[in-house]
Amino acid sequence: MSAAPPPVPLHRRLVAELLGTALLVAVVVGSGVAAQQLSPDDVGLQLLENSTATVLGLAVLIVIFGPVSGAHFNPVVSAADWVLGRRAGTGLTGVEVGTYTVAQTTGAIAGAVLANVMFDIEVTELSGTERAGSNLLIAEVVATAGLVTLVFALARTGRGPLAAPAVGAYIGAAYWFTASTSFANPAVTIGRIFSDTFAGIDPASVPGFVAAQLVGGLTGIALVRYLFPDVEAAAGDVVVPRITTPAESTPRSTR
């Protein structure tokens, strides 16, 4: 009988979350810059190019980092994992949510700076792209609620391996059906402050977006609990099941 794989230490999971979020933002921002350069007079084509790169890049990043950290890349997903898993003793602990959030936000900022460097853009300029209006905030609630519902529904029904194409497809679709182009991620929203490009967001718009995303996360939690009453048992398998030993997968008594 082969030995069970060792649990993934927290420090390794944090590096995976940092790198994954950094590369995700680099894909979003970098493809946005490339789209502006390649199609300067066609905003619709720019959005198509940007969304296509994001779909493909996100799917690949989930495949790479999912077995290590779960490939959350999103503080709302990590927080929902903690909220839903508390009763069953599954998912992240409160401390892990905090450290995941720091890693994700740091990675998002680094990813925006990396994209700026690759495209020879001034790295100290903040975005001047205003994204204000109740319609955009409603769009962020919808986008985030849908994302949370999707990833926990996949985990609950044992379809975690479909997370890469499914989450990529959802975000790609949400680029087009939401007025905000579906940020749906507080860390990514903060990271995009640091790129004065097609994909950026000005600092004044960030608090509203983050608040809307938190509301969307709570809405998604409520919806997935209603649709899947025993979803708590699957919280540890979001977005992609991590490598664990039987000991690590035992429900925790301390949260």
CA distances from 106 to 19, 98, 133, 177, 204 (A): 9, 12, 27, 29, 19
Instruction: Write down the pLDDT at residue 124.
Output: 83
- What pLDDT sits at residue 123? 86
Give me the residue spans of the domains in the chain: 10-121+130-237
pLDDT at 161: 87
> Whole-prediction pTM value?
0.91
Q: Is the dihedral of CA 205, 106, 17, 88 positive or negative?
A: negative
Confidence of residue 242 (pLDDT cuts 50, 70, 90): confident
Q: Which of 97, 78, 76, 59 is nearest to 186 (CA)?
A: 76
Question: CA of 70: how far to CAs of 74, 81, 153, 240, in Å?
Answer: 11, 11, 15, 5
pLDDT of residue 6: 62
pLDDT exceeds 80 at position 245: no
CATH 3.20.10.10 fits 10-121+130-237, yes or no: no
pLDDT in tens, 117-173: 999 998 888 999 999 999 999 999 999 999 999 999 999 999 988 999 999 999 999
